[in-house]
Structure 1
Amino acid sequence: MSEIKETYVDYLGYKTYCKIVTPDNPDPAKKPLLVLHGGPGDCHNYLLTYAKLADRANRQVVFYDQIGCGKSAIPHQEDDFYTYDLWADEFYTVREALGLDDIHLFGNSWGGMLGMYCMMKDDAGVNSFVINSSPVRIQTWLDEANRLLKYMPQDMQEALAEAERTGNYETPEAKEAADEYYKRHVVGFYEKDYPQFVTDSFAGVGECYMVMQGASEFVVTGKMKDWDIREGVKSIKVPCMALSGTDDEGTPYTIKEGVDLIPGCEWALIQGAPHIANATHPDECLAAVEGFICKFD
């Protein structure tokens, strides 16, 4: 069985929580995998299936809760505290503190966006990068989300449209519609059936989600509304693989936009998988990630 170590890294006067999963007999030829969660603000827990790579591949796997959520929660901050550079600088700070100077990188959703942003700034010591269902342009993501809504029952479409208009997503009708969308395209389960590690992650979401994203998956009212790194990703030199699902809210069209722009980017598309593909298709995700990163050890 792997050893799990929990520790904290000092950052901006706060503490960034880290979880380090080390196999009993680590293979010295296998570089650690550093995992970036989504949100911003969703916590690391929902990605814990990737900890199985420690036992399956004799590879160390490292998670952390980004500042502002989960076990890295902080007191209320003004909106201008939260920026892309806040989390990019934290990424480099965590790596330096934990000695992660020679790694593979994995990022889901916002985590992949953060990873791309960092790889455009300084890619030193990153040998490969798995970009799991992350857009290079937020408007493409939104256009596709609203296209997916059109396949839902008409009453659910109307309930979500009304929620967007009023800002009230707590009506029974809006909650039922959102639950249906999450079942189809995000988690793969209705809320009552969420695996515990997903429930734990959603329970720790911080205020940064509202600041950066907004009230829902269908409209971005926060700071990410202008996210567009289509030009920047053309400069990424780290070997990359996109990972996504056919039923993902990060639709194949959304992901292809990045695949076509990132030099040499590969793509693993998992049939039937939603956005949090590792919850519904763990073995396929583990095989895809290890199959890619092991080529760059």
Structure 2
Amino acid sequence: MYTIREGYAPFRHYQTWFRVCGDIDSGLTPLVVAHGGPGCTHDYVDAFRDIALSGRAVIHYDQLGNGRSTHLPQQPADFWQPALFLDELANLLLHLNIADNYALLGQSWGGMLGAEHAVTQPKGLKALIIANSPASMALWLQGAAKLRAQLPADVQQTLLDHEAAGTLDSAEYKAASAVFYQRHVCRLDPWPAEVRRTFDAMDADPTVYHAMNGPTEFHVIGSMKAWTIIDRLARITVPVLLISGRYDEATPEVVQPFMDHISGAEWVISKLRAICRTSKSASCA
């Protein structure tokens, strides 16, 4: 077993919720887990906590605007920028007194955030794991379009019709979107409770997701739509592990630039799974 400690890190005028599983002072570099979205919660990647059984502390947190951290639905769309979350991460590291020694695991948007953090070459970062993340949103949209073209024709047409009409909140559009999610986000049926909790939380407050991404994984119209880090990846000097899956919405083409531009990066592609959502092992969706 391992100890569990929860708390809040003051950040500007807000609060960032965090949880530490295990002993930060064990002598092993603690692992910080950054969830995806933007706009998800820590729940769907909660199972990484059991890495603490090895003696390595694992830190989860809910990013600002999400989960147990301060919600800010009144903030304008331009408030939600990568720089905000980079500042929040740096603040959390200082609050936990691990800024001089930590590893970072980022899933989807969390991997994008992790890459943005790593290109600044922070002295305390010892390793980076980028799971199911794109190196640019242009590549992400190209990959999503290819996956979407493989959906049943009636599902594709429903998506197109509602996107043209602007009726993205309709039950029909959501049902059609769910077909894509079942194939490329979480292939388990039914979805695990921790995945469901994250999506329920996003439905309850989609502020961050809608502002930065858009209404769905494949209809990206938010502030991140032109994001890329490809031209800065060579600045990353720590060991990097890339993770993706056979059915992943992060297709090989969107991950490849990380491999091409980060010296010494390693890449593991699961041939049986889609996105590493709920566990470090067999529960990955």
- In the other structure, the counterpart of 1:63 is 60
CA deviations over 1:178-228 (Å, ceiling 9, x no partner): 1111111001135xx221111111222340111100111112111101101
CA offset at residue 70 of structure 1?
A: 0.7
- Residue segments in structure 1 that go unaligned for 5+ positions in a row: 287-297
Q: Helix, strand or coil: the match of 1:121? A: coil
Q: Helix, strand or coil: the match of 1:208? A: helix
**Total equivalences in the alignment:** 279
- In the other structure, the counterpart of 1:265 is 265
1:230·1:258 contact (CA, 8 Å) conserved in 2?
yes
1:27·1:59 contact (CA, 8 Å) conserved in 2?
no
* Alpha-carbon distance in structure 2 between the residues aligned to 1:28 and 1:12: 30
- Residue segments in structure 2 that go unaligned for 5+ positions in a row: none
- In the other structure, the counterpart of 2:198 is 201
Alignment of 1:109-124 (within 5 A): 109-124=108-123
- In the other structure, the counterpart of 1:246 is 246
* Alpha-carbon distance in structure 2 between the residues aligned to 1:122 and 1:163: 44
Is 1:73 aligned to 2:70, yes or no? Answer: yes
- In the other structure, the counterpart of 2:165 is 166
* Alpha-carbon distance in structure 1 between the residues aligned to 2:60 and 2:103: 12
Q: Helix, strand or coil: the match of 2:106? A: strand
Moved more, 254-263 or 178-187: 254-263
Q: Helix, strand or coil: the match of 1:62? A: strand
Is 1:35 aligned to 2:52, yes or no? Answer: no
CA offset at residue 97 of structure 1?
A: 0.3
2:121·2:235 contact (CA, 8 Å) conserved in 1?
no
Alignment of 1:1-297 (within 5 A): 1-22=1-22, 28-55=26-53, 57-75=54-72, 76-101=74-99, 102-190=101-189, 193-205=190-202, 206-275=206-275, 277-279=276-278, 282-283=280-281
CA offset at residue 176 of structure 1?
A: 2.5
* Alpha-carbon distance in structure 1 between the residues aligned to 2:13 and 2:96: 17
> How much identity, in percent, do the aligned residues show?
33
TM-score, scaled relative to structure 1: 0.89
TM-score, scaled relative to structure 2: 0.92
- In the other structure, the counterpart of 1:293 is none
2:120·2:235 contact (CA, 8 Å) conserved in 1?
no
Q: Look up the equivalent residue of 1:91 and give its one-letter code.
A: L
Q: Helix, strand or coil: the match of 2:119? A: helix
When you count helix as a share of all residues, which structure comes out higher?
1
1:121/1:285 CA distance change after superposition, 3 Å: farther
CA offset at residue 22 of structure 1?
A: 0.9
